[in-house]
Amino acid sequence: MNVPFGAAAYGLLAGLAIALLVAAFTDLRRRQIDNGLNALVALAAPLYWWAAGLGWSGAAIQVALAVGAMAVFTLLFARGLMGGGDVKLLAALALWLPPLSYFQLLFMMAIVGGAMSIVAGARNLDLAPEETGKRRLAVIAAALWLLLTVYVVRVMNGAAPVDFGALGAPLGAIGAVLVPCLLIAVFGVLLSGARVIARRQKSKLPVPYGLAISVAGLWLLATHPEQLVAAAGPVIG
């Protein structure tokens, strides 16, 4: 890795990890990510560019990515789909992460945030005592979503995807039909349970999406630190 201050770059990434832990804690405790913390993350980004040897063109790309992220997520905020602190944190993180890594962050955030939302919804249903079937369906759907989340995270961390064709191979022609049918049935249960959760919640629970952002960011920092620093490119000069 040919960067001028590699140790400083990794030190700044460690500082970013601490900031994400603080964001997760405050969002869980107060449903709020402080403006000061988001400002600190954003203002520290140029130091990281310098330490990692980011070129002027690369810096311009990071700024453009942050402006685009702010525009898109502000629209979601206006529709009540995101909190203001979440929008600011995502825009600040766009100043640190190369585009590919940033989209990995967003994907992981969506997976983790979806799991949090569906589990919270399954625990907050407005169902009559006799509607046990719907309650069980919602719980099963939440469990399936969690399993899917674990599977996707494992694959993103380098684990081999499940070869569903090989699972049915011992059963021959029957297996070739049975495995796809089972997958369709599982997917149907997941969709049906998600539909119950979406329609029968007592009230919309405020999900701390800052936690999902922080988990995604910490995962990225823990698994791809060399990729983040090496992506910086030529030294500014």
Lowest mean pLDDT among 14-28, 85-99, 142-156: 142-156
Q: pLDDT at residue 27 above 60? A: yes
Please tell me the predicted confidence (pLDDT) of residue 3.
46
Tell me phi and psi for residue 93, to 5 degrees: -65, -30
Which pLDDT score is estimated for 228?
65
Helix, strand, or coil (residue 33):
coil
Amino acid at 200: R
Measured in residues, the chain has a length of 237
Own/partner contacts of 152-158, CB < 8 Å, gap of 24 or more, are: 152/111, 153/108, 153/111, 153/219, 156/104, 156/108, 157/223
Cite the beta strand spans of the chain per DSSP E. Answer: none
- Do residues 145 and 190 lie in contact, with contact meaning Cβ atoms separated by under 8 Å? yes
pLDDT surpassing 90 at residue 112: no
- CA-closest candidate to residue 62, choices 186, 237, 233: 233
Cα distances from 91 to residues 33, 64, 109, in angstroms, run 13, 10, 14
| Percent of the chain surpassing pLDDT 70 | 86
pTM: 0.77
**Can you give the pLDDT at residue 137?**
87
User: Pick the residue with more confidence: 145 or 202?
Assistant: 145
Residue 70: what pLDDT? 94
Residue 2 has pLDDT above 50, yes or no: no
Residue located via tokens 């900031």: 19
Question: Average pLDDT, whole number, for the chain?
Answer: 82
> Residue 205's Cα: distance from chain center in Å?
19
**Residue 122 CB partners (closer than 8 Å, separation 6+):** 138, 139, 141, 142, 193, 197
pLDDT tens per residue across span 46-81: 999 888 888 888 889 999 999 999 999 999 888 877
Beta-bridge mates of residue 125: 201
Sequence-separated (6 or more) residues with CB below 8 Å from residue 86: 33, 73, 77, 209, 210, 213
- Res. 37: pLDDT tops 90: yes
The helix/strand count (H/E) of the chain reads as: 10, 0
Contact of 165 with 159, CB cutoff 8 Å:
no
How far is Cα 44 from Cα 13, in angstroms, rounded to an integer? 10
**Percentage, residues of the chain above pLDDT 90:** 27
Query: Token digits for 86?
Result: 């979440």
